[in-house]
Amino acid sequence: MTLIKSISGIRGTIGGKVEDNLTPIDAVKFAAAYGTWIKQQRNKKNYKVVVGRDARISGEMIQNLVMNTLVGLGIHVVDLGLSTTPTVEVAVPMEHADGGIILTASHNPKQWNALKLLNAKGEFLNGTEGQKILEIAESDSMNFSEVDVLGKITKNEAYIDLHIDEVLDLPLVNKKAIEDANFKVVVDGVNSTGGIAIPLLLERLGVHAVKLYCEPTGHFPHNPEPLKEHLGDLAQAVVNEHADFGIVVDPDVDRLAFMDETGEMFGEEYTLVACADYVLSKNPGNTVSNMSSTRALRDVTEKYGGVYEASAVGEVNVVELMKKNNVVIGGEGNGGIIYPELHYGRDALVGVALFLSLLAEKKMKVSELRATYPNYFMSKKKIQLTPELDVDGILSTMESNYSHEKLTTIDGVKIDFADSWVHLRKSNTEPIIRIYTEAPTQESADNLADRFITEIKTIANI
């Protein structure tokens, strides 16, 4: 396994050889490169970086390596301990810090970990900044501090509560309506930090939370990507508990999906659609999601008179276009809600609060709410990268083969047909080619994805 270095961070599997996997030496090297970059941004006496992690098994080891590397550079560290990605993002500006690092491999299995890097605004680094850190890491030009000016580590475990305070202070979070609705919700925290944060948020909102896999042990009880095929236990619990709905998050709590009262998925793509519906009904405006997200957000946005635009995949790309278009809400179709009034980062906590507000005001079941939105069906498949796969060549051939259709090539190749679309791209976070399709029925979406998998294999002669 080769280390994956992208705008989404530095990630790899634990163990193995240096430069092939995320070993302790690699963690130290990239933390040192990031700390060096931080010090290059401004010439000042004291520097501060916020560090937090999800509950995966390697997290404590990697966090200690990262924090003490920063200390060796003379940088002070605020240690959030077990935390969430959006909590660290919120903490950076609250601490007036120079940056932040989140130790998480998001939805990847337990053997993975990663360093996600933030700037002084608590936002992910852009491509230019990320490339500079990679260059520093390869140059071995880091200059560590002398003994009298080493950094210090300060522990602060209050930030999940502070993050929840910030969410509850948002004007559109209808706390009274939520409390009056007397909701009962099952929470699948995949044995990571969502099992801490989401029940705490629900308790503050007067929601009865039934906890499922909410012990932050890092032993994921199922594949941590919040997709239907991984969530049989949640479906059963929702039905058995006679709950109003179910909530599932990924290990670092930036992705959010719902399950209706019958144990059926609300649809990960429709998390953003529902939250946008609520926000736009109160504050009409523009929206942004990435190119692999459902057309339903476009439809809801236009219903309220706004303009929808799609960005390249990757949170930093979504945020950049959101700022450019003065967007009121945006995110990614994988269940990532970005609500700028709080911060420019995917945040499952704010997504839960907005969804509960919508449901409480609508006074309808989750299944009934889902039926009010346009019905699109998506298929998400992938092809493992191998040495014989020339991804750039494959995408170039696809572009030529479909030049008569509406094409977008800012991120791989997206082909828009009259009633469907397909998006082909190399993943930022895994050694795979992703194939996303959307169509009027699930069967047609699956068939479209299978057709393009066959075409890719034909082009690559495999």
Q: Which of 141, 111, 104 is nearest to 9 (CA)?
A: 104
Helical H segments across 217-347, by residue range: 232-240, 268-282, 296-303, 315-324
Mean pLDDT of 330-353: 97
CA angle 260, 263, 264 (to 5 degrees): 70
pLDDT for 19? 87
pLDDT above 90: residue 253:
yes
Q: Beta strand 184-188 with 286-290: parallel, antiparallel or unpaired? A: unpaired
Mean pLDDT of 20-25: 94
| Residue 267 or 206, more confident | 206
pLDDT for 297? 97
| Residue 379 or 428, more confident | 379
pLDDT for 8? 60
Mean pLDDT of 101-125: 95
pLDDT for 427? 84
Q: How far is CA 297 from CA 161, 249, 260, 289, 349, in A?
A: 31, 21, 20, 8, 20
Q: Which of 95, 103, 43 is nearest to 67 (CA)?
A: 103
Question: pLDDT grade, residue 140 (50/70/90)?
Answer: confident
Mean pLDDT of 402-417: 94
* pLDDT tens per residue across span 156-197: 999 999 999 999 999 999 999 999 999 999 999 999 999 999
Question: pLDDT grade, residue 389 (50/70/90)?
Answer: confident
The two most distant CA atoms of the chain are separated, in Å, by: 67
DSSP letters spanning 70-82: HHHTTEEEEEEEE
Return all residues near 364 (Cβ < 8 A) that are at least 6 apart: none
pLDDT above 80: residue 6:
no
pLDDT for 429? 73
* 245: helix, strand or coil: strand
Mean pLDDT of 65-69: 98
Mean pLDDT of all residues in the chain?
Answer: 95
* pLDDT tens per residue across span 419-457: 999 999 988 777 789 999 999 999 999 999 999 999 999
d(CA 116, CA 97): 16
| Residue 244 or 391, more confident | 244
> 4-8, 62-66, 140-144 — which is least confidently predicted?
4-8
Whether the predicted model's global pTM rises above the 0.75 cut:
yes
- Is residue 107 within 8 Å of 255, Cβ to Cβ? yes
Active centre residues (catalytic): 106
pLDDT for 235? 97
Question: pLDDT grade, residue 228 (50/70/90)?
Answer: confident
